[in-house]
Structure 1
Amino acid sequence: MADAFVTGGEHPSCGICPSRRFALGEFDVYEGPCAEAPFNPVDGHRYTAAGVPVCVHPHKVGLPPGRYKTDGTPFTVELELPDSPAALDAYLYEVMHSAAPGVLELLIEQAAEEIPRVFPQVDVVRALRRALN
């Protein structure tokens, strides 16, 4: 079995979430419970008709909804920086601490590019250090 990307007790994903059993790209993430991914009372998980495991809480696993396993959807994330640099630390902290590890790397790369463009007066390295601590 592949190493799950969600580890440790502090992550908000459900105990039966496929993110705890499968690596990134090995399950789909839906916006919420739906008929396309019914609950299986036998094992307590949700699956597509093709048997692909499904997470229905994107905010808990730090991934945007996507058919990652079913369609091979690539992971893409877009930072939506706040309007002022004063709100940047809180925003980055929330985004970084709720992201899946594979997505976290993409967020850090994007932050390193976008922050200087939007807030040229902000030291990117210091902002990222504060967010990741």
Structure 2
Amino acid sequence: MLRASRPLLTQLIKSTTGITGLLVHPNPLPSLLQTYQSTLDVLKTLPSHAAYRQSAETLTQRKLEIVQGALGGGMKVEEMLGEGQIEQSLDIAEDELALAGNMLEWKPWEPLVEKPMLDQWEYFGQRPGQQ
């Protein structure tokens, strides 16, 4: 019976992610929940018409619901999120939280200070609408 339980034990105790620089998180699900919630809190401070807020809020809310509803533990969450290992999902969530904070500072929804040049979007001699 010891042989049958050893593979199960090694699946429960993760010693490495196998990714250089990405350490195993001791308790990733609560951290992931907190990070998603913090991201949603920051996104709520952006204007509701901002395209970034709309897309990031929808995606983060979906991911939060997956993590909240996961009864099968980390492996099930990893599979449902489709972002690799749970530590990778946590890394992605932390990056999104940082980006949301930057967007609040950058205010990309505001009009440009200077109008763009008329030919700004012409590349290699092509005019818009030509192929």
TM-score (ref. length: structure 1): 0.25
TM-score (ref. length: structure 2): 0.25
